[in-house]
Amino acid sequence: MNGLCAQSRSLAEALADGSEDLPPFIDLTICPPFTQIAAVGDILAGSRIRLGAQDCHVASAGAFTGDISAAMLADLNVRYVIVGHSERRLHHFETDELVNAKARAAIEADLTPIVCIGETSEERDAGIAHERLSAQIATSLPANFRGVVAYEPIWAIGTGRTASIQEIEETTAHIRAAVAAHLETDDKSVPILYGGSVTARDAASILSINSVGGVLVGGASLAADSFLGIALAAQEALS
């Protein structure tokens, strides 16, 4: 929930300009607040950056005051939508079942859902992190899922704790295997993103992990230099 009109336009323009020379294997998507999608979309038109949104409703239309449907997002040329973000799960009490319904709604509207999963500090400290992640995958991803999974280590976001490269590698490898087993597909079909307070400083080492297919960027996306710095780190890691 950041960005008024002037700030959002300025940021989008800087990102569009700054991404022009990146190699084609670097995929960039930004997900502005609902109020900025149309304006940001106009600025990104013709650029290499794809447009995403931060959430959607399960229904395509109806008496759901204050909600936004996947069809409405598609009408604004949105291509991706985040569902089940840890903040939505925490503050809006979203369940795995609801996330599943939102992912299905996104797919029906020809959007690519980015489904977020993650364990709390209590779950990790109790030694049930992998069990919890597997359960989220089994319940949050519909059988016809075609999209992206983002791993958010909730225990390492804003807590002062940091996920080590070994922890990220072990956990994302488990997620990749669990997704493949649940969807009965190979372990490369669904990209697995890492979303634990990623910065330009640590992005290259994270993106060098074989089981990590990208990053879900939070606070570092609010400034063009830091977001583009992560893109440059991706170029370094993948070249």
Query: How large is the angle between the packed helices 165-183 and 200-207, nearest 10 degrees?
Result: 50
- Dihedral angle sign, alpha carbons of residues 138, 141, 142, 146: negative
Query: DSSP character for 17?
Result: H
User: Is 123 among the residues known to form the active site?
Assistant: no
Which candidate in 57, 85, 119, 169 is catalytic?
85
Give the full edge-to-edge strand order of the sheet including 192-194: 28-30, 49-53, 80-83, 112-117, 148-151, 192-194, 214-215
Tokens of 201: 């400083």
Q: Is 218 annotated to bind ligand? A: yes
E-only strand ranges, 49-206: 49-53, 80-83, 112-117, 148-151, 192-194
Q: Is 197 annotated to bind ligand? A: yes
Which candidate in 94, 119, 152, 169 is catalytic?
152
Q: Is 158 annotated to bind ligand? A: yes
Coil vs helix vs strand at 196: coil
Let me know: does 156 contact 196? Beta carbons within 8 Å: yes
User: Is 152 among the residues known to form the active site?
Assistant: yes
Coil vs helix vs strand at 41: helix
Q: Is 214 annotated to bind ligand? A: no
Coil vs helix vs strand at 115: strand
Binding-site annotation: residue ranges: 158, 197, 218-219
Binding-site annotation: residue ranges for substrate: 158, 197, 218-219
- Active-site residue numbers? 85, 152
